[in-house]
Structure 1
Amino acid sequence: MSAARAASGVNASGPVPRVRRVGIVGWGAIGRVVGTALAGGEVGGAELVCVVDNRPLGEAAPARQLSFEEALEHCDLIVEAAGQGAVREWGERVLASGTDLLIASTGALTDDELAKRLLAAGPGRVYFTGGALGGLDLLQAARSLGPLDQVLLTTTKLPATLEQPWMGEELLARMRTATGPVEVMSGTARDVPAKFPRSTNVAASLALAVGDPDAVRVRVVADPAARHTRHVVEASGPYGTYRFDAAHLPDPGNPATSQVVPYAVLRGVAALAGRTGHIL
């Protein structure tokens, strides 16, 4: 147990308010926005303690840079913003230390074995954010009435943001010379996030809401005219039909990520810090 958690107690006026001591893993497009907001006091009840990254941060970083092991000694909430690999390597250790974990790279959770291990680990608790996708709470509510008959996600992005090392020359050539939309891959929400680890975390978030990654069909489309990153969810079940269409501007520094994603992460931190009116 870290010193921060052990130090909680009661004063003469009642319980001492608990301040979330936050460590951010990954100082990229998501981590920088989240960390800067926390350091600026924009989320009440949450304090940025440290940043974990394998690259030097420089003097501009708003908090000290620590190793992962050191971060677990000083934080009670770790925010992952470094990619699926960080979840696989460190997720269980974070939770076993008693530290809570908020995952941005939800694609890692389509690995059933990893998801089971994280849910079984503790005493820390694991959370995930919907990121660039909305409507998840409604789909969770609909699922409680009965299984959804059909769930389809179509994600459209600029071709360059979807290029992957496993792609053959023919597919790459079609994407690079396309004058209109090109379907890059079609599969389930279990298959697709593994193939696009930085571009399709929304598919995993949708699968977690629906409760079955194999029941979610995903189409990944490359479009040279895609000024926005677009996610369209179409779902139906015995009690209703649902359609959500979200179009986001990509982050200028990392076009594979929508600009809204760090703010979804901040919303999750705020909910975990006890601010009212927030749904995680």
Structure 2
Amino acid sequence: MTAVSAAPATPPATRAPRRVGLIGWGAIGRVVGTALAAGEVPGAELTCVVDNRPLGDAAPAPQLPLESALTSCDLIVEAAGQGVVRAHGEEILTAGADLLIASTGALTDDALTARLRAAGPGRVYFTGGAVGGLDLLQAARALGPLTEVTLTTTKLPATLEQPWMDEELLHRMRTATGPVEVLRGSAREIPAKFPRSTNVAASVALAVGDPDAVRVSVVADPAARHTRHVVEASGGHGSYRFEVRHLPDADTPATSQVVPYAVLRSLAALAGRPGMIL
């Protein structure tokens, strides 16, 4: 599997634009698709949108089933959830299209990751989304093992409610007057429990190289106007701390407003904009 790391060396003027198919027309997809259609990503053009709901005139490109999209696109952007990666990742790569994943939580599944590694000729990329410092964690890891890595994610209680929760936990979350820890576990376990809310945990795990080494605490806070992620890592060569606070999307508060712009930044690199390092 290949993580997005640097812009291709070939200048955009010497290569055809990337033909982008976008899966999902939600909080992430709408921003990404609108920017692509407006020509805001040099070297990339929106070819089609794939969504299981009829979009009518809402999308600025034809709405196609995935099978048709794969005949006309060389890059597919996943903006619809971990289930899309599980159900269609291998199909996309086998068809020869590259795949840019926003829902990195899917990549904590070792079996799925192995299948994606074996598939091709398309390549897999991921975007860090709502968290920063991943490049530094990757560099630090090259110096030697990180002995402790923790992530604390704090969000509004309603964005964290899940079908597996019992009534006692739901009551504590709904009646909380301050922060309440909802769940603690590894970066392998947490994204599966919160598939739309904790992709950051998977992004940190991918940077560190071991989902089981990253300990995650998910906190519900009724006063959380911003979504907050705190990453702390240490090893024999140093210690690192990153804290980010994002406004949630107004219509889909489980998603931070910044996420689609992280996707666009990755798209710009894949389209070959010179001087772009992720």
State the TM-score bracket (shorter-chain normalisation): over 0.9
Structure 1 residue 16: Cα displacement: 4.3
CA distance in 1, matches of 2:158, 2:267: 31
Structure 1 residue 238: Cα displacement: 1.1
Other-structure match for 2:247 = 249
Other-structure match for 2:39 = 41
RMSD after superposition = 0.8
Residue identity matched to 1:24: L
Other-structure match for 2:227 = 229
Structure 1 residue 17: Cα displacement: 1.9
CA distance in 1, matches of 2:47, 2:148: 43
CA distance in 2, matches of 1:185, 1:175: 11
Other-structure match for 1:82 = 80
Residue 163 (structure 1) aligned with residue 131 (structure 2): no
Structure 1 residue 58: Cα displacement: 1.7
Matches within 5 A, 1:73-152: 73-152=71-150
Unaligned stretches of 5+ in structure 1? Answer: 1-14
CA distance in 1, matches of 2:203, 2:84: 17
Structure 1 residue 184: Cα displacement: 0.1
Residue 70 (structure 1) aligned with residue 68 (structure 2): yes
Residue identity matched to 2:47: V
CA distance in 2, matches of 1:277, 1:26: 29
CA distance in 1, matches of 2:46, 2:276: 20
Residue in structure 2 matching 1:268, options 263, 266, 269: 266
Other-structure match for 1:12 = none
Q: Structure 1-normalised TM-score?
A: 0.94
CA distance in 1, matches of 2:218, 2:191: 10
Other-structure match for 1:10 = none
Residue identity matched to 1:271: A
CA offsets per residue over residues 32-90 of structure 1, 9 Å max, x none?
00000000000000000000000011213100000000000000000000100000000
Structure 1 residue 18: Cα displacement: 2.1
Residue in structure 2 matching 1:217, options 208, 215, 218: 215
Runs of 4+ in 1 over 3 A off after TM superposition: none
Residue identity matched to 2:121: P
Unaligned stretches of 5+ in structure 2? Answer: 1-12
Q: Structure 2-normalised TM-score?
A: 0.95
Larger deviation, residues 59-68 vs 15-24: 15-24
Residue identity matched to 2:38: G
> Secondary structure of the equivalent of 2:116?
helix
- How many residues were matched structurally? 266
Other-structure match for 1:8 = none
CA distance in 2, matches of 1:204, 1:135: 14
CA distance in 2, matches of 1:279, 1:204: 21
Other-structure match for 1:4 = none
> Secondary structure of the equivalent of 1:247?
strand
Residue identity matched to 1:154: T
CA offsets per residue over residues 146-184 of structure 1, 9 Å max, x none?
110100000000000000000000000000000000000
> Secondary structure of the equivalent of 1:193?
helix
CA offsets per residue over residues 115-167 of structure 1, 9 Å max, x none?
11111111000000000000000000000111101000000000000000000
> Secondary structure of the equivalent of 1:65?
coil
Residue identity matched to 2:237: Y
Matches within 5 A, 1:192-203: 192-203=190-201
CA offsets per residue over residues 171-198 of structure 1, 9 Å max, x none?
0000000000000000000000000000
Other-structure match for 1:56 = 54
CA distance in 2, matches of 1:163, 1:30: 20
CA distance in 1, matches of 2:141, 2:223: 35
> Secondary structure of the equivalent of 1:161?
helix
> Secondary structure of the equivalent of 1:138?
helix
Structure 1 residue 278: Cα displacement: 2.3
